[in-house]
Amino acid sequence: MIIGIDVGGTHADGVLLQGGTIRAKKKVLLGGEALEESIITLLQALVPADKSRLRRIHLSTTLCTNALIQQSLDRVGMFIQAGPGMNPEFLRCGDDVHFLSGAVDHRGQVQRGPSLAEVEEAAVAMREKNIDSVGIVTKFSHRNNEHELWVRNKIADDFNHISLGHRLSGMPNFPRRVYTTWLNSALKSRFHLFRQAMQFGFSRLNIDCPCYILKADGGTISFDGACEFPCQTIHSGPSASVMGALALVGGNRDAILLDIGGTTTDIALLADGIPLLEPYGASVGGRPTLIRALLTRSVGLGGDSSVVWEDGAFRIGPERRGAPMTFGGGAPTPTDAMRVLGRISEGREDRARQAMEMLRPGESAEKTAEELLQCFADKVYGVVGNMIEEVFSRPVYTVADFLEREKITPENLIVIGGPAAALQATLESAFNLPCLVPADYEVANAVGAARARLTVQASLYADTTQRRLTIPEISLLESIDKLFDMDSAEQRLEEAVRMLARELGGEAPVEIDFIERMQMNTVRGFATTGRIISLKAQIRPGLTEITE
């Protein structure tokens, strides 16, 4: 059995799953007490009588998101080596950024070492300000982590929490690496406290099964792993929702997932049943990062969005002005339209009709309601269209990829969230696609959290001319011989993924996919000097089969 808990903005949901069946569900309001306490309360209600049957607890938490919003972050000292390129001043993300000299180039070749004096001076300045959490990032550290490790070794005794850029992602994009590292450092002590509180709660309830945290990419990470990489746990709400919709409906086709709430609609896309990921990573509080994340877009359209009639058209949202009129509010909303059309049965019908008449006096309430919902669906349709276009427009770098590009062609819509059932028919006609609304959709997020499985990504870069192999995610940098080839690369990377899987999840890893395979000969003069191999491997987001 698995317990899945999803912490949202106003309340937290939990389910106890046995196989695919929901054995228990529970909802608690958040507010008064600490987050940890609310989670423990939920657990108390969900834990099966025979505790030994509980295999795991999966938790999607807003802890990091809240810390960011409330600015209760650690003060972070940053060591940044930018080398040649854009003026790095914009990366001065706090008062404690220290730029270091030296450079590693695009091929991972050291051009100039960092200066010890600069590092020591920066470390002293940080210690004087009682900074205990630092980040170290160099440009191209995914190609060669030597300088990040060198700086770490010089300051290892001075700080409790040290985050290294290359460990957080093997992807390129230096500014994103800087922000990811900064964020990870800023969340560290906060997350440690959270784990302490949770462990205390577990022991109070006599639970000793492992606890996993949901990540932004729809996968899980062990609690220990999350303490090392807390930044991975942001945006776990949308990711729980996507995995939930997948668990409740599934399929292996291209599809659109909609989570329609009171004020927003979250959209995700499935290609052959697999949720699409952001090309680099999530954007967190405006900062671009390398935190692997599901591709989701949120639009300010929900059941409770306020509606006005302007210049012959409806304007829906993005703001919410209290409750829908049918529930006693003062401004017309899509929910009122649903009430007028009998798509929902709660709420006062006369107030709902009034809302429609306020919008368009003299027009029949049914017609206004019908057109309002249609407009709602059309707007979502427009955003989905843009998203599909955006995915199609992702850069390609080879003739073969250019010629083989294919657009996502969704075969159905999967809709969860409060107004899902009420909008089913309207969405079906706007998208001209079958629209599925799963049963139990109100606990979709908790189910998603419960069913999510471990995800891992690792990247390999081998340069046989320089005889160097690197897998940044496991800090691997070693010599290779001239004969190192794609087969050896696959083997090494698979080992790395299995190792990471053990470290971050402890589960037996499932299928490993190789993605972004590239091999190119390097030629100097007229002779081939070696080859560059670049390869990524992942355990993609998917669902665990719960057998007992």
Partner 1 sequence: MTLFMPRAPRKTGLVLFPAFDWCISPSHPEREERLLYTKDQLIEEGLEDVENIYFFNPEMALEKDVDRVHLCVPSAAELMTASHFISTGGAIRAARALMDREVERAFAIVRPPGHHAMQTVFGDRGFCIVNIEAIMVEYIRRHYGVRKIAIVDTDCHHGDGTQDIFYNDPDTLFISMHQDGRTIFPGSGFVHESGGPSAPGYTINLPLPPSTSEEGFDTVMERVVLPLLEEFQPELIINSAGQDNHYSDPITNMNFTAQGYARLNSNLNPDICVLEGGYALEGALPYTNLGIILAMAGMDTSHVREPDYMPERFVQSAEMNRYIDDICDQAIGVFAGRHEAKKQFAGQQQVVERKRIFYDTTMFQAAETRVYHLCSRCPGFTEVTAEGLHQHIHGFSVPFNACGSCASKAKDSFAKTDRESDTVTVLQDRVADIFERK
Residues that bind partner 1 (CB under 8 A): 82-88, 90, 93, 103, 105-107, 111-112, 139-140, 172-176, 179, 280, 283, 286-288, 393, 395-400, 402-403, 518, 520-523, 525-528, 532
- For partner 1, the closer of residues 17 and 91 by Cβ is 91
User: What is the nearest approach in angstroms of partner 1 to the Cβ of residue 87?
Assistant: 4
Give the C-alpha separation, 306 to 304, whole Å: 6
Let me know how long the chain is.
548
User: What is the nearest approach in angstroms of partner 1 to the Cβ of residue 223?
Assistant: 30
- For partner 1, the closer of residues 210 and 288 by Cβ is 288
Indicate the residue type of 253.
Answer: R
What is the three-class DSSP state of 4? strand
- For partner 1, the closer of residues 362 and 395 by Cβ is 395
What residues contact 197, with CB distance under 8 A and at least 6 apart? 34, 36
Half-sphere exposure in the Cβ direction for 296 (13 Å, CA): 28
Check if the beta carbon of residue 368 is closer than 8 Å to that of residue 359: yes
* φ, ψ for residue 456, nearest 5 deg: -145, 145
Give the C-alpha separation, 272 to 259, whole Å: 19
User: What is the nearest approach in angstroms of partner 1 to the Cβ of residue 379?
Assistant: 23
- For partner 1, the closer of residues 111 and 252 by Cβ is 111
User: What is the nearest approach in angstroms of partner 1 to the Cβ of residue 397?
Assistant: 5
User: What is the nearest approach in angstroms of partner 1 to the Cβ of residue 284?
Assistant: 10
User: What is the nearest approach in angstroms of partner 1 to the Cβ of residue 489?
Assistant: 17
- For partner 1, the closer of residues 448 and 530 by Cβ is 530
Query: Residues 22, 27, 33, CA angle at the centre, nearest 5°?
Result: 140
**β-bridge mates for residue 221, sequence order:** 213
What residues contact 434, with CB distance under 8 A and at least 6 apart? 411, 412, 413, 428
Give the C-alpha separation, 203 to 196, whole Å: 11
Q: Which of 498, 489, 503, 501 is nearest to 534 (CA)?
A: 489
User: What is the nearest approach in angstroms of partner 1 to the Cβ of residue 493?
Assistant: 19
- For partner 1, the closer of residues 284 and 352 by Cβ is 284
**E strand intervals along 121-179:** 133-138, 161-164
- For partner 1, the closer of residues 147 and 451 by Cβ is 147
Check if the beta carbon of residue 436 is closer than 8 Å to that of residue 415: yes
User: What is the nearest approach in angstroms of partner 1 to the Cβ of residue 470?
Assistant: 14
- For partner 1, the closer of residues 85 and 434 by Cβ is 85
What's the gap between Cα 406 and its chain centre? 25
CB atoms within 10 A of CB 41: 16
Give the C-alpha separation, 200 to 80, whole Å: 37
Distances (CA, A) of 462 to 206, 459, 496: 48, 10, 14
User: What is the nearest approach in angstroms of partner 1 to the Cβ of residue 174?
Assistant: 5
- For partner 1, the closer of residues 115 and 521 by Cβ is 521
> Crossing angle for the helix pair 174-204 and 35-46, nearest 10 degrees?
50
- For partner 1, the closer of residues 393 and 547 by Cβ is 393
Cis bond before residue 318 (omega within 30° of 0): yes
- For partner 1, the closer of residues 139 and 536 by Cβ is 139
User: What is the nearest approach in angstroms of partner 1 to the Cβ of residue 520?
Assistant: 5
What residues contact 510, with CB distance under 8 A and at least 6 apart? 453, 539, 542
User: What is the nearest approach in angstroms of partner 1 to the Cβ of residue 370?
Assistant: 37
